[in-house]
Amino acid sequence: MLYEFVHQYRDEILKHYRAKVTTRAVSSPHRSEIDHGVSVFLYQLATTLSTGDPMLTAEICKAAALHGRNLLLQGLTVAEAIRDYEDVFSSIAEVATVLHAPINLDDFRSLNRCRDDAIASVFVEFERLGKESPGNRQARDPIVK
C-alpha cells in the first residue's frame, strides 16, 4: 500500500525532494521549512492514505496553508510554492519507480486529491495574505491579485 511506502521511505522521498529544490533557478525554501513543512505533509499524507478518511484532508489543508504562509514570508511566489508540492509528489513517484513499488489506481487518486487539496490551500493562503497587504505580491506574482 502507498501509505506504507510513504511512511517507510519518507527519508528517501525527502532526499529526492531536497535534490529537486536545490536545482531550482529561483528561490527555494529554507531547509528548516523543508524539514518541517514537507515532513509534516508526508506524515499527514501517509495517515490519510492509510485510513481513507477524507476528513483528514482538512489537516493536510491546514498544514499546507501554514506551509504556504511560511514560504510567502520567505519571499516565494504562489507559483514557486505550488511547485514545492509538485516536487513532493514527483519525488514520491520517482522513489516508487526506482524501488519498483507499484501505485494502485485508488492510491493514485487519493494521492492526487491530497496534492490538489494542499495546492488549493496554499493558493487560498497566498490570496488571503495578499489581501491583508495590498501590493505585497502583485508585482512579483501575476497569479495573485
Q: What is the CATH number of the domain that holds 108?
A: 1.10.490.70
Q: Is residue 24 part of a domain?
A: yes
Confirm whether 8 is domain-assigned: yes
Residue 101 lies in a domain: yes
Asked if residue 51 belongs to a domain, the reply is yes
In a domain, 139, yes or no: no
User: Each residue's pLDDT tens digit in the chain (145 positions)?
Assistant: 788 898 899 999 999 988 887 777 565 556 656 666 777 778 888 887 787 776 777 878 888 888 888 877 777 788 877 888 888 889 999 999 999 998 888 888 888 888 888 889 888 888 888 766 545 544 444 444 4
Does any domain span residue 137? no
| CA-wise closest residue to 14 among 29, 25, 26 | 29
Question: Domain total for the chain?
Answer: 1
Lookup: cell for 137: 505580491
Per-residue pLDDT at 33: 60
pLDDT score for 45: 80
Q: What pTM value is reported for the model?
A: 0.76
Amino acid sitting at position 63: A
Q: What is the DSSP secondary structure assignment for residue 9, as one 8-state letter?
A: T
Q: Which three cell numbers stand for residue 65?
A: 496553508
Residue 34: give the domain boundaries: 2-132
Beta-carbon contacts of residue 64 (< 8 Å; ≥ 6 apart) = 41, 85, 117, 118, 119, 121, 122, 125
Q: Is there a domain that residue 145 lies in?
A: no
